[in-house]
């Protein structure tokens, strides 16, 4: 199926651990994003990559490090996990940062729970 | 302020119209969007409007834009139970390299 996919769907881990979330899109898009949705459903962008180049980097702790091995993949690595990192993380992609209305296609989300 | 504001909750009866409101922040935003999030799923683009338009209609959906007041609304005609979801407005602020700023989300509950 053509889509934005994320793994894992659920991630439960202890404080202090390091974990990664993977994202892949097979839509041929060249821009990918990571968003964080908190328990109140507030959705905020974290990072964006265009053709493997970082173009948006919001005020995110440097424990979060995105990596884009190619334009179809954008992974998120989190070091030293904290309780406040518990959230749903969404990956998204779009055709180009210069496209007109920039429809973003979202993955199903990864629910991270830090104990 | 910095936040894109929406009311938290809206309950309507099946068959009625729903109107979800949004107040955005940047009067020079180029595009404004409505996304739908069903339980346990990601966001799906429902519709969008370019900033030089006042209204856009797409089947049961009508978007109204009041640039003077920075107010955006989404009307869903003949609301169905399948419309129950969280609805987010979003703006693309100028000079932000396709960054979307999302509203706080409105949970729509459709009752029989």
pLDDT score recorded for residue B100: 86
- State the greatest distance between any 2 C-alpha atoms of chain B, in Å, as a whole number: 45
Q: CA-to-CA distance for B12 and A67, rounded, in angstroms? A: 44
Q: CA-to-CA distance for A29 and A49, rounded, in angstroms? A: 11
**Per mean pLDDT, which range of A98-107, B20-29, B36-45 is the poorest?**
A98-107
pLDDT score recorded for residue A96: 72
A13-32 residues touching B, CB cutoff 8 A: 31
Do the beta carbons of residue A26 and residue A2 sit within 8 Å? yes
- C-alpha distance from B103 to closest chain A C-alpha (Å): 8
From A17, A4, A1, select the one nearest A110 (Cα to Cα).
A4
Cβ within 8 Å of residue A98, ≥6 positions away: none
Q: Which of A23, A48, A100, A104 to mutate to test the interface with B (most CBs of B within 10 A)?
A: A104
From B53, B48, B39, B52, select the one nearest B74 (Cα to Cα).
B48
Q: In a 3-state reduction of DSSP, which class is residue A48?
A: strand
pLDDT score recorded for residue B1: 47
- C-alpha distance from A101 to closest chain B C-alpha (Å): 6
Give the pairing of strands B31-37 and B43-50.
antiparallel
């Amino acid at each position: 199926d053509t889509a934005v996919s994320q793994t894992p769907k659920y991630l439960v881990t202890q404080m202090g651990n390091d974990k990664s979330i993977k994202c892949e899109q097979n839509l041929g898009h060249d821009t990918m994003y990571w968003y964080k949705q908190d328990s109140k459903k507030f959705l905020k962008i974290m990072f964006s990559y265009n053709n493997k180049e970082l173009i948006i980097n919001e005020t995110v702790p440097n424990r979060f490090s995105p990596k884009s091995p190619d334009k179809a993949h954008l992974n998120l690595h989190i070091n030293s996990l904290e309780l406040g990192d518990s959230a749903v993380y969404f990956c998204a992609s779009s055709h180009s940062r210069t496209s007109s209305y920039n429809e973003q296609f979202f993955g199903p989300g990864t629910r991270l729970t830090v104990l | 302020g910095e936040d894109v504001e929406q009311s938290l909750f809206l309950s309507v009866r099946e068959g009625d119209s729903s109107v979800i409101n949004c107040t955005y922040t940047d009067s020079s935003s180029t595009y404004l969007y409505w996304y739908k999030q069903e339980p346990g799923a990601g966001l799906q683009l429902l519709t969008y409007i370019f900033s030089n338009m006042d209204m856009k209609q797409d089947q049961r959906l009508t978007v109204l834009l009041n640039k003077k007041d920075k107010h955006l609304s989404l009307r869903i005609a003949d609301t169905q139970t399948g419309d129950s979801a969280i609805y987010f407005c979003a703006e693309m602020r100028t000079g932000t390299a396709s960054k979307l700023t999302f509203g706080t989300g409105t949970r729509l509950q459709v009752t029989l």
